[in-house]
């Protein structure tokens, strides 16, 4: 009896994990292999570089690359700075900080598509930005931000909309990270007369490093997948890699090219994760928190 | 003014400024969605609701396919919640209660799948689902949403069960419960609020997901897939109404989940 009990206790954790392992194998591992095959195998089964060649030779390819990386380097730092400001404010536990945490967190549950549409109402020619701009006398005639000719306008609109949405995710990671820092550190800094700004730079930021790093990795990876916010604000006037994958399947019904772009996304995700881990010298324990 | 007053003014000033940055777009989409369709051509725009009208929202909700797509979105989310909790909660329980070989490996797999680009799942699965008869089917979409939500659900439920004292379960077992009945009568009731939060979290993932839903459907669109598809040819007021309709649940959900925000999204 005792023996049987011990046996089931040994097997139980594996039995509990098995369903999710099988499911993730079926719906993640197999599709990944199939995506690879779609990219390098023609319909008749012969291996070919035709699709990869067509992708790299496509008119939108280099633009998609440039725009995806451009959005990444513009959006991620902006998000981290904004989120850090929010998190530090919340962590100072002023009266009513709970309400502000709730407000800052609302965009957590908003899709990038919806965020794009929200900001569309602001950036369109007869939108709220121009209304306010003209109201305070900044502009004489309403400029058109979201047009094919105005690359800077399109880019700025996407950067603002996506920063607005995803800052909440970073903010929550940082607030959670701040809570892990023992109060003693803050009190010690107070004791030595550190003012708020010096305390933040010399005590809080170094201790918050693991959270900042995981936020950086997560946001970088998801920045590659930026897609619906771009379509909502710029249509097809600003190609990005994820939107190319979508268009090749949804509009051109070409699974081979769509899969090639999808593989490119996966390669970027893996490459950047590895680079970050090397450069930042993350330990396994720190990655876990991501 | 003394230093304390300056300090407090600075804190509240910047907190309010950041709050306005978050809130103002919500207010403006509300204004846009609740004005008359023709008001999109009005310039300059009124900044207060001078011409409140439900005409735009009515137009949106009565447009072909919108009502059906809302039902599809809800059905997809419901299937996703059931599947990912049924598969993920046991795994979460195992992570919270047992130390076993391969535990680290499993956690790494879960983390890796969390960051998987949805494009690389959707496109091959669209091809496979065409053969299996799951293409343009809400079950197919729910299967992909489950694979996206499952890693989150495993980690969140692990946290939830870790928060329920193991000693209570052991006490129940010494009093004659089997492990299963101890779980059912002791751990599960205590874990219920956390599991409910995990369910809402899963709903949010599914309700917001655009890429897979658009790739895997043609007629059985979910709401985001329908709106994305309509971006190219629909008038501005249709987009604004759609945007408002998609955003509304977010405000409510975050309110209900405010106690769990850090556990769900904080990544601990």
Ranges A66-80, B10-24, B37-51: which has the least confidence: B37-51
Q: Yes or no: say if B117 and A262 are a contact pair by the CB < 8 Å rule.
A: yes
Q: Yes or no: say if B251 and A158 are a contact pair by the CB < 8 Å rule.
A: no
- List, in order, residues 6 or more apart from A131 with CB less than 8 Å away: B43, B44, B45, B47
pLDDT band at B196 (very low <50, low <70, confident <90, very high): very high
Domain regions of chain A by residue span? 62-236
The shortest C-alpha distance from A54 to chain B (Å) reads: 18
| Nearest C-alpha in B relative to A227 | B211
Distance CA B35, CA B21 (A): 23
CB atoms within 10 A of CB A132: 15
Task: Assign a CATH topology to domain B64-230.
Answer: MetI-like fold (1.10.3720)
| Nearest C-alpha in B relative to A218 | B115
Domain regions of chain B by residue span? 64-230
pLDDT in tens, A104-125: 999 999 999 999 999 999 999 8
pLDDT in tens, A207-257: 898 899 889 988 998 899 989 999 999 988 999 999 999 999 999 999 999
| Nearest C-alpha in A relative to B268 | A289
* Partners of residue A34 in chain B, C-beta under 8 Å: 124, 127-128
Distance CA B102, CA B107 (A): 9
Beta-bridged to residue A47, according to DSSP, are A41
- List, in order, residues 6 or more apart from A154 with CB less than 8 Å away: A145, A146, A147, A233, A234, A237, A238
pLDDT band at B111 (very low <50, low <70, confident <90, very high): confident
Tokens of B92: 């979460």
More confident residue, B111 or B145: B145
Q: Can you list the alpha helix ranges (DSSP code H) found in chain B?
A: 3-33, 55-62, 66-97, 103-114, 118-132, 138-162, 166-174, 179-182, 188-208, 211-216, 223-230, 236-256, 261-265
Give ipTM to 2 decimals: 0.90
Q: Yes or no: say if B221 and B140 are a contact pair by the CB < 8 Å rule.
A: no
More confident residue, B264 or B131: B131
Mutant choice from A100, A114, A242 vs B, greatest count of B C-beta within 10 A: A114
* CB within 8 Å: B261 and A108: yes
User: Least CB-CB distance to A19: which of B87, B106, B254?
Assistant: B87
Ranges A11-25, A175-189, B169-183, B220-234: which has the least confidence: A175-189
Distance CA B226, CA B221 (A): 6
User: Least CB-CB distance to A246: which of B100, B211, B267?
Assistant: B211
pLDDT in tens, B22-79: 999 999 999 999 988 888 888 888 888 877 889 899 999 998 899 999 999 999 999 9
Distance CA B32, CA B39 (A): 8
Phi, psi of A41 (to 5 degrees): -125, 130
How high is the pLDDT of residue A45? 83
Say whether B134 sits in a helix, a strand or coil.
coil
Q: How far, in Å, are A120, B181, B267 from residue A169 at the CA level?
A: 22, 38, 10
Q: Which CATH class is domain A62-236?
A: mainly alpha
């Amino acid at each position: 009896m005792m023996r049987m009990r011990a046996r089931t206790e040994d097997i139980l954790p594996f039995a509990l994990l098995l369903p999710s392992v099988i499911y993730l194998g079926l719906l993640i591992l197999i599709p990944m292999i199939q995506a690879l095959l779609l990219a390098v195998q023609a319909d008749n089964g012969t291996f070919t570089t035709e699709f990869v060649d067509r992708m790299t030779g496509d008119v939108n390819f280099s633009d998609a690359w440039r725009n995806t990386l451009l959005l990444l380097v513009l959006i991620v730092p902006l998000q981290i700075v904004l989120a850090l400001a929010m998190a530090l404010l919340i962590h100072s536990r002023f009266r009513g900080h709970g309400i502000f945490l709730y407000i800052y967190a609302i965009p957590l549950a908003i899709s990038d598509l919806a965020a794009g549409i929200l900001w569309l109402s602001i950036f369109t020619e007869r939108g709220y930005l121009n209304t306010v701009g003209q109201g305070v006398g900044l502009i004489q005639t309403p400029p058109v931000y979201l047009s094919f000719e105005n690359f800077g306008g399109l880019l700025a609109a996407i950067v603002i909309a996506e920063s607005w949405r995803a800052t909440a995710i970073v903010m929550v990671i940082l607030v959670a990270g701040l809570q892990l820092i023992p109060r003693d550190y803050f009190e010690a800094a107070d004791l030595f007369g550190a003012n708020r700004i010096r305390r933040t730079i010399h005590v809080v930021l170094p201790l918050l490093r693991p959270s900042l790093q995981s936020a950086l990795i997560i946001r970088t990876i998801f920045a590659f997948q930026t897609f619906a916010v771009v379509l909502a604000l710029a249509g097809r006037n600003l190609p990005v890699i994820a939107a190319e994958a979508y268009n090749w399947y949804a509009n051109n019904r070409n699974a081979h090219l769509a899969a090639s772009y999808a593989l490119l996304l996966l390669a970027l995700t893996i490459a950047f994760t590895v680079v970050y881990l090397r450069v930042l010298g993350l330990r396994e324990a720190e990655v876990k928190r991501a | 003014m003394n230093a304390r007053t300056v300090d407090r003014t600075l804190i509240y000033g910047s907190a309010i400024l950041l709050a306005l940055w978050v809130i103002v777009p919500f207010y403006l989409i509300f204004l846009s969605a609740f004005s008359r369709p023709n008001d999109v051509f009005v310039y300059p725009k009124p900044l207060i609701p001078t011409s409140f009208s439900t005409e735009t929202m009515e137009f949106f909700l009565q447009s072909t396919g919108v009502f059906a797509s809302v039902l599809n979105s809800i059905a997809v989310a419901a299937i996703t919640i059931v599947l990912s909790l049924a598969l993920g909660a046991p795994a979460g329980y195992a992570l919270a209660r047992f130390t076993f070989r391969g535990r680290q490996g499993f956690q790494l797999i879960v983390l890796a799948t969390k960051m998987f680009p949805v494009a690389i799942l959707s496109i091959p699965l669209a091809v496979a689902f065409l053969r299996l008869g799951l293409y343009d089917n809400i079950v197919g979409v729910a299967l992909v949403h489950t694979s996206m939500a499952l890693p989150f659900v495993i980690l969140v439920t692990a946290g939830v069960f870790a928060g329920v004292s193991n000693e209570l379960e052991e006490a129940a077992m010494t009093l004659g419960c089997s492990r299963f009945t101890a779980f059912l009568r002791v751990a599960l009731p205590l874990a219920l609020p956390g599991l409910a939060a995990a369910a809402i979290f899963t709903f949010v993932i599914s309700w917001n997901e655009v890429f897979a839903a658009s790739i895997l459907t043609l007629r059985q669109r979910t709401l985001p897939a329908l709106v994305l598809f309509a971006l190219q040819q629909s008038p501005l007021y249709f987009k604004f109404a759609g945007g408002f309709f998609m955003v509304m649940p977010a405000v409510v959900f975050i309110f209900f989940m405010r106690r769990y925000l850090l556990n769900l999204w904080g990544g601990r």
